[in-house]
DNA sequence: TGTCAGTATCCGCATAGACAGATATGATAA
DNA sequence: TTATCATATCTGTCTATGCGGATACTGACA
């Protein structure tokens, strides 16, 4: 369990980007795939995928392949060596202005999403 | 009072650097000047000054001129719109490996520091 | 006014990171 | 095996940022 300044800086560096904050402010129950982000935040596929990769590499999300889909879930309970700080940060993010709009956008999208295909791909 | 994603990203972006984390993990009672950082963290003058400027611009410290000296104090109680998250982050930083060493280094330096001059300048 | 001390900023260099379209890769169905 | 779908990665472009030495700026004092 590494609690170094360098590791902490890498984790926090992931948060220095507005798009990634918006991702982390989405509801954390369940999992999101790339197409969910594309639709919810109006992101091109490569941008969505890249941000998820960054979050994965810095320990904020974990990826699970399910068939053609790659699902990402938040692992903030272990981020920052399990101190709870990750959850605190997410809690704060959800109080920000843009968060409710994004969350509603995600809910709307999930209601209409075709279960067999990702409706937002490319 | 702005609690936008963009403003939050700017505040958090300041934390994506190890040196700045080390600065923020120093004791927050009292104030630090550039030469304190130079001595404590073995930084060149320009580097110390630049990091403090970055922290000032992102709302982590406030600068006060006292004669020839520029003293910086932490204003984490107001960072993140006064939510307390700034303090939480600082609390976490002080649990990291490097923090006690830096804190001790600062204490040692302050004991020997000449009050009339900054002993570490350039 | 010139000098010194403390500090902010510039400068050049190198690296990282944001972006989106293009392309490669992985999974699945026919 | 090929085609389709979903996603990761590459590519080129641009911007940001870290670094430290050099230089400019600020304040104090003789």
**Per-residue pLDDT tens for A56-71?**
999 999 999 999 999 9
Check if the beta carbon of residue A35 is closer than 8 Å to that of residue A73: no
Interatomic distance B116 CA / D27 C1' (Å): 14
Closest residue, chain A, to B23 (C-alpha): A5
**Topology of the domain comprising A26-112:** Arc Repressor Mutant, subunit A (1.10.10)
B-chain CB neighbours of A58 within 8 Å are none
Cβ–Cβ of A17/B9 closer than 8 Å? yes
Check if the beta carbon of residue A47 is closer than 8 Å to that of residue A122: no
Using CA atoms, how far apart are residues A64 and A89, in angstroms rounded to an integer? 24
Q: Where are the domains of chain B?
A: 5-111
Q: Which residue has the higher pLDDT, A120 or A15?
A: A15
Supply B63's token pair. Answer: 């600068």
Interatomic distance B105 CA / D23 C1' (Å): 30
Check if the beta carbon of residue A25 is closer than 8 Å to that of residue A44: no
Interatomic distance B49 CA / D20 C1' (Å): 12
Q: Identify the three-state secondary structure at position A21.
A: helix
Instruction: Encode pLDDT of B35-61 as tens digits.
Output: 999 999 999 999 999 999 999 999 999
Task: Please identify among residues 66-95 of chain A the ones whose CB lies closer than 8 Å to any CB of chain B.
Answer: 80, 83, 85, 88-89, 92-93, 95
Per-chain mean pLDDT for chain A: 91
Q: Which residue has the higher pLDDT, B116 or A108?
A: A108
Percent of chain B with pLDDT over 90: 77
Check if the beta carbon of residue B48 is closer than 8 Å to that of residue B38: yes
- A29: confidence class by pLDDT, cuts 50, 70, 90: confident
Supply A63's token pair. Answer: 């990826």
Domain at B5-111, CATH class? mainly alpha
Identify the residue whose Cα has the smallest distance to the C1' of D25: B68
Nucleotides in chain D near protein beta carbons (<7 Å): 5-10, 17-23, 26-28
- What does the H/E/C string look like for chain B? CCCCHHHHHHHHHCCCCHHHHHHHCCCCCCCEEHHHHHHHHCCCHHHHHHHHHHHHHCCCEEEEEECCEEEEEECCCCCCCCCCHHHHHHHHHCCCCHHHHHHHHHHHHHHHCCCCCCCCCC
DSSP A28: -
């Amino acid at each position: 369990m590494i609690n170094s300044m360098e590791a902490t800086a890498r984790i926090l560096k992931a948060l220095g980007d507005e798009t990634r904050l918006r991702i982390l402010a989405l509801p954390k129950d369940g999992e999101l795939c790339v197409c969910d982000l594309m639709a919810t935040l109006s992101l091109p596929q490569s941008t969505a995928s890249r941000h998820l990769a960054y979050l994965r590499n810095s320990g904020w999300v974990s990826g699970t392949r399910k068939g053609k889909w790659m699902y990402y879930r938040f692992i903030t309970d272990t981020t920052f060596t399990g101190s709870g700080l990750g959850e605190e940060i997410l809690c704060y993010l959800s109080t920000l202005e843009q968060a409710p709009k994004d969350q509603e956008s995600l809910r709307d999208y999930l209601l209409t999403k075709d279960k067999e295909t990702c409706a937002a791909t490319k």
